[in-house]
């Protein structure tokens, strides 16, 4: 089932999410909903707080080329174990901040540990878009958005645009 994506500013996007203690059927169903919502948007990643669920769960799939096999990843309690000193600059966007993009500098490679859909421990080194996306999504679980990396003026400008967008959406 497709879920509604919260738009910034929203207090739920600024909170630290709770650790998932048990990968239950309900949590698996939630992950499936998030994948459906992400692909539909379309986007390359989605974190649970973006649909108002305050739990440490993200989904991602950074395979972007048409015709390449999709690789949906479901991560419960994802954690960055180590980061490279080398950095990368990507123009980032966010499904909770539609149509706003800005360059963000982050470590080029990260090793991430998480629990998969079956509750098994996983660990993998990501680079390129996957590394950026994993870091962006994990930030969401700590109430951090990509615009928090920008200079205050730019961040305020984007936030004002989003407030305007939300007023327009409320009016219908």
Interface residues toward Ni ion, by CB under 5 A: 94
Q: Identify which of residues 92 and 115 has a Cβ nearer to Ni ion in the complex.
A: 92
Task: Quote the Cα angle for 76-80-86, to 5°.
Answer: 145
Cis peptide before 42 (omega within 30 of 0): yes
Annotated catalytic residue, options 36, 86, 137, 168: 137
Q: State in angstroms the smallest separation of the CB of 140 from Ni ion.
A: 6
Q: Closest-CB residue for Ni ion?
A: 94
Q: State in angstroms the smallest separation of the CB of 72 from Ni ion.
A: 17
Q: Identify which of residues 5 and 27 has a Cβ nearer to Ni ion in the complex.
A: 5
Distance CA 75, CA 140 (A): 13
Distance CA 109, CA 130 (A): 9
Count of other CB atoms within 10 angstroms of residue 63: 15
Q: Identify which of residues 2 and 118 has a Cβ nearer to Ni ion in the complex.
A: 2
Q: State in angstroms the smallest separation of the CB of 10 from Ni ion.
A: 12
Distance CA 23, CA 8 (A): 28
Distance CA 112, CA 134 (A): 8
Q: Is residue 91 annotated as a catalytic residue, yes or no?
A: no
The structure tokens listed for 119 are: 């509750």
Q: State in angstroms the smallest separation of the CB of 136 from Ni ion.
A: 5
The structure tokens listed for 111 are: 């090793």
Q: Report DSSP state, residue 18.
A: B
The structure tokens listed for 107 are: 């470590």
Q: Which residues are catalytic?
A: 137
């Amino acid at each position: 089932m497709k879920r509604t994506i919260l738009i910034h500013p929203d207090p739920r996007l600024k909170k630290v999410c709770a650790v998932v203690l048990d990968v239950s059927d309900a949590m698996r169903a939630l992950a499936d909903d998030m994948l459906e919502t992400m692909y539909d948007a379309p986007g390359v990643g989605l974190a649970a707080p973006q649909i108002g669920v305050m739990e440490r769960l993200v989904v991602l799939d950074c395979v972007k080329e048409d015709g390449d096999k999709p690789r949906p990843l479901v991560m419960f309690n994802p954690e960055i174990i180590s980061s490279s000193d080398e950095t990368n600059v990507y123009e980032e966007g966010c499904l909770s901040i539609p149509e706003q993009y800005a360059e963000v500098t982050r470590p080029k490679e990260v090793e991430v540990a998480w629990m998969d859909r079956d509750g098994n421990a996983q660990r993998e080194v990501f680079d390129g878009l996957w590394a950026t996306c994993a870091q962006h999504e994990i930030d969401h679980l700590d109430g951090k958005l990509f615009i928090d990396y920008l200079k205050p003026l730019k961040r305020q400008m984007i936030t004002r645009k989003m407030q305007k967008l939300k007023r327009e959406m409320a009016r219908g």
